Amino acid sequence: MKTTKKAALTLDEARSTVLQKVRAAGAKGAGSPVTAATREPRRSLLEQALRELESERVLFADRTAKKSKFFLAEFAPDVRTVAVKIDQFAARKHPELMTSTQLKKALARIESPLFIDAFATLETERRLLKLVRGKQTVYAHGESLRAMLGGLAPRIEAAPAVPTESILRAYRELVRRTGFPDVEIAALQRESGLAMDRFKQWLLREHGAGRAVFSLGDWSLADEHVRAGVVELGGDRYLLARLEE
């Protein structure tokens, strides 16, 4: 009796296989469906399915450990969720003062690459307050410290709302004039009419929310006016920004 040959795996079936495994794993994440025992052509199709699903942002890959793990995109950390986690950790530790290294311990390994941007967001929003004693810099949880001081603390008036729509109009006009979606931060600040400090605070909040993307630009060719708009994150100096509407 002849045995029926098993039909070869298709790319669509490989994608479905990957998604089923990752979906079943949920927030724990799943290892790669490709193992040492996986043979061709199945191996190549599963690897292609992983690449495509990741590039389409259906999946998120955590490669911080020796073996990669894959998650549905909904479980991927972002700057805002990481910032909330650090904020909550600092609140639990209050009134203890902590260094940035100690605060980073609140994060899982998968979240650590987002620490610098999340930390900058917390400082900008004054949810973390920097304190300096001698050469040491430590941080206090802003809300807890203000609550503890109560009436002894000077009242800080809320800053006027930033005119986001007018900044977006200025951005569209700069894109129209230059022909490029990445515009000089300094030029956008000038067009917005906001003070530089206030504008950068707004821009960092937009970056934390995923609505602003920074680009390096060419520092060596930038004059003092362009360099005035620099945003420093993670040791890099960004001169350009693209806004997502």
Distances 95 to 119, 157, 222 between C-alpha atoms, Å = 19, 24, 44
Burial of 19 (0-12, 13-18, 19+ CB in 10 A): middle
Residue 158 lies in a domain: no
Which pLDDT tens digit goes with each residue over 188-197?
A: 999 888 888 8
Distances 168 to 41, 154, 206, 211 between C-alpha atoms, Å = 49, 34, 12, 11
How much is the pTM?
Answer: 0.50
High-pLDDT (> 70) share of the chain, %: 91
CATH number, residue 88:
1.10.10.10
Task: Evaluate if residue 87 carries a pLDDT over 50.
Answer: yes
**Domain count for the chain:** 3
Q: Which residues, other chains included, contact 206 with Cβ-Cβ below 8 Å and sequence gap of 6+?
A: 212, 243
143 lies in the same domain as 208: no
Residue 107 lies in a domain: yes
59 lies in the same domain as 94: no
pLDDT at 211: 84
107 lies in the same domain as 56: no
The terminus-to-terminus CA distance of the chain in angstroms comes to 64
- Among 149, 173, 199, residue at a domain's last position: 149
Picking from 60, 53, 55, the residue whose alpha carbon sits closest to that of residue 18 is 53
Q: Average pLDDT of 135-150?
A: 83
- Among 42, 75, 108, residue at a domain's last position: 75
| Band of pLDDT at residue 151, cut at 50, 70 and 90 | very low
| Residue 57 DSSP SS3 | coil
178 lies in the same domain as 219: yes
112 lies in the same domain as 85: yes
Residue 7 lies in a domain: no
CATH number, residue 229:
1.10.10
| Band of pLDDT at residue 81, cut at 50, 70 and 90 | confident
H-helix or E-strand containing 85? Answer: helix 79-93
51 lies in the same domain as 99: no
Picking from 88, 103, 123, the residue whose alpha carbon sits closest to that of residue 208 is 123
Rounded to an integer, what distance in angstroms lies between the CA atom of residue 85 and that of residue 77?
Answer: 11
Buried residues in 197-210 as b, exposed as e (16+ CB within 10 A): eebbbbbbbbbbee
pLDDT at 161: 59
pLDDT at 4: 54
- Among 50, 75, 100, residue at a domain's last position: 75
pLDDT at 201: 82
Q: Where are the beta strands (DSSP E) in 90-235?
A: 128-133, 136-141, 183-184, 212-215, 231-233
Q: Which residues, other chains included, contact 75 with Cβ-Cβ below 8 Å and sequence gap of 6+?
A: 26, 27, 29, 60
| Band of pLDDT at residue 60, cut at 50, 70 and 90 | confident
Q: What angle do CA 106, 112, 117 make, to 5 degrees?
A: 100
High-pLDDT (> 90) share of the chain, %: 22
Domain hosting 103: range is 79-149
Q: Average pLDDT of 203-227?
A: 85
Rounded to an integer, what distance in angstroms lies between the CA atom of residue 35 and that of residue 204?
Answer: 42
Least confident of 12-26, 120-134, 140-154: 140-154
Residue 133 lies in a domain: yes
Residue 18 lies in a domain: yes
211 lies in the same domain as 239: yes
Residue 3 lies in a domain: no
